[in-house]
Amino acid sequence: MEHEHPDPVGARRRRRVLITGAGGQLGQALAEAFADEEVTALTRADWDVTLPPCDDLVRAGFQLVLHAAAWTDVDGAEADPQGAAAVNIAGTAHAASLGAPLVAFSTDYVFDGRKREPYLESDAASPLSAYGRTKLHAEAAAGERAWIVRSSWLFGPTGHNFLRTMLRLGEERDEVAVVDDQRGCPTYVGHLATATRRLVDAGLPFGVWHLAAGGECTWAEFAEAIFAEAGLACRVRRISSAELGRPAPRPAYSVLRSERPGAPVLPHWREGLRACLEALGE
């Protein structure tokens, strides 16, 4: 606000909000989107969510929990499914045990990718990977007082993500090989955090919500757009998932759209790309 006025009533209405995984790219974006609330932002060092919350957290009386802590190493989950489950499933149950309304973030990887039109909330989940299975079980662990926000291909100006990797490789190489047989919605964490705030503030019903960027593309098309927007001359060599040979299978098609009334609509992924590059420039 440009002008601040004493407003004790408004001050009393500030929600006590807990953010888990606050050190990650989504957690940081959520902290910005909810900055006018009474936010407690905890990194993994502050609370390892594989462990139950301490008494201080239980007594804090949070009115909203934004659960962004997660095991996000898709290939690593194939090698250590129990470790991924401890973070994603038990961690979500521990966040839910605080008793406050919960936003639990899930993924397009709960689907098998056999569909060739956008996945809706009513579509049956069928994950291909250990990571996808842990995230699907985490949705159940969130309980009945939870918004389950499924999104996809997250990127932002901080943390480890595809955009930052492409920018680094684009500076170092003349050509990069990128898969061209997986199609989804690259989603800017800033836009997802804003949409999450709208979802919560509107008092929309608990349950599953698909919140992902508008438009769709392959990873190779996303890489080409990154290089074009960033002014990098690096070429993209399009390859198949089989050529890349990753341990965890990925859905070939995982575009997410919402069929639910009032669902927040996110900007096109290209707008997210430009907003992210602008944030990186700052």
Kindly list the catalytic residues: 131
Give residues with Cβ within 8 angstroms of 210, minimum separation 6: 119, 120, 121, 150, 151, 256, 257, 258, 263
Q: Which long-range contacts (CB under 8 A, 24 or more apart) does 144-147 make?
A: 144/206, 145/96, 145/100, 145/101, 145/102, 145/206, 146/96, 146/101, 146/102, 146/103, 146/104, 146/206, 147/101, 147/102, 147/103, 147/104, 147/196, 147/199, 147/200, 147/204, 147/206, 147/207, 147/209
Q: CA of 267: how far to CAs of 32, 166, 185, in Å?
A: 18, 22, 11
H or E stretch at 187: strand 187-188
Q: CA of 11: how far to CAs of 33, 67, 199, in Å?
A: 17, 24, 22
Report the amino acid identity of residue 67: H
